């Protein structure tokens, strides 16, 4: 997984179209329906901490994990000490405390390098959850990677920077993503580049990797209906056996 150093600085601007309030309500709804309305929550790949903060404001005792120092620094400023933040790799982690809930959002599972890392991540989640603990995560679908991201290029023209987002579809659900930031320094533009991969996994393979969990439901994004053939993101709601 990349450290996303440059991306961290602009992440909140680039995800400005994400309604985090709606997502926090949707996710916490599963927590309260299948678990309880409060408790200790682990936010995997917490990024800049927006969801962590919203869930903390709802009364959850939140711990966030991320691999990027830059993301964690931004999260620390945003959460103002209300969220415990740890540096760690979500593909393989161990914590001294147990949690009632675990969350992994905004296709962070797709950032794991391969299927073995996904299985290792799910095993780590199992180990850190209390019996009956609820695990909610979302993933980009194979459809999205092949037909939406694919070999497409996207441009973001903002006030202080320009971003060229170039995708290369390598097959098997794997997309190579190259980001070129051109950041205005007052006189001209400095160029910063990031490169990482996202991999979409077959739903049946994800179900197999969740053998330690009871799968309560698999839903289309922010809905309570089954995914469609052209769903771009789906949610899994699971309970630790």
**DSSP 3-state of 59:** coil
pLDDT tens sequence across 29-63: 999 999 988 999 999 999 999 999 999 999 999 99
- Longest C-alpha distance within the chain, in Å? 59
**DSSP tag of 45:** T
- Rounded average pLDDT over 56-77: 96
- Rounded average pLDDT over 142-167: 93
- Residue 84 or residue 17, greater confidence: 84
**Of 100, 115, 141, 135, nearest in space to 217 by CA:** 135
pLDDT of res. 2: 47
- Strand order from edge to edge, sheet including 233-240: 84-87, 61-66, 40-44, 99-104, 129-140, 233-240, 213-220
**Nearest-angstrom CA–CA distance, 62 and 39:** 8
Query: What is the pTM assigned to this prediction?
Result: 0.94
- Rounded average pLDDT over 11-25: 89
- Residue 16 or residue 31, greater confidence: 31
- Residue 1: pLDDT band by 50, 70, 90 thresholds? very low
Task: Return the C-alpha torsion angle 107, 3, 69, 119, nearest 10.
Answer: 50
pLDDT of res. 105: 97
- Rounded average pLDDT over 230-239: 98
pLDDT tens sequence across 82-115: 999 999 999 999 999 999 999 999 999 999 989 9
- Residue 10: pLDDT band by 50, 70, 90 thresholds? confident
**Nearest-angstrom CA–CA distance, 95 and 90:** 11
pLDDT tens sequence across 159-210: 888 999 999 999 999 999 999 999 988 889 999 999 999 999 999 999 999 9
**Nearest-angstrom CA–CA distance, 69 and 47:** 10
In this model, does residue 140 exceed pLDDT 70? yes
- Residue 27: pLDDT band by 50, 70, 90 thresholds? very high
In this model, does residue 118 exceed pLDDT 50? yes
């Amino acid at each position: 997984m990349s450290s996303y150093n440059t991306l961290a600085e602009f992440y909140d601007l680039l995800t400005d179209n994400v309604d985090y309030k709606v997502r926090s309500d949707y996710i916490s709804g599963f927590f309260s329906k299948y678990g309880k309305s409060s408790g200790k929550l682990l936010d995997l790949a917490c990024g800049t901490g927006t969801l962590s903060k919203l869930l903390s404001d709802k009364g959850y005792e939140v711990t966030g994990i991320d691999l990027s120092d830059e993301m964690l620094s931004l999260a620390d400023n945003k959460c103002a000490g209300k969220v415990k933040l740890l540096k760690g790799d979500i593909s393989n982690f161990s914590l001294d405390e147990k949690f009632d809930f675990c969350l992994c959002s905004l296709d962070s599972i797709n950032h794991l390098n391969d299927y073995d890392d996904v299985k290792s991540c799910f095993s780590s989640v199992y180990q850190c959850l209390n019996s009956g603990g609820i695990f909610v995560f979302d993933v980009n679908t194979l459809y999205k990677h092949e037909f939406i991201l694919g070999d497409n290029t996207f441009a973001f023209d903002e006030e202080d920077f320009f971003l060229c987002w170039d995708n290369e579809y390598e097959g098997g659900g794997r997309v190579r993503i190259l980001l070129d930031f051109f950041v205005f320094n007052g006189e001209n533009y400095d160029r910063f580049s990031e490169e990482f991969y996202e991999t979409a996994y077959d739903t049946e393979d994800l179900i197999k990797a969740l053998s330690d969990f009871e799968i309560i439901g698999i839903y289309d994004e922010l809905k309570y209906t089954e995914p469609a053939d052209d769903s771009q993101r789906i949610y899994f709601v699971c309970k630790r056996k």
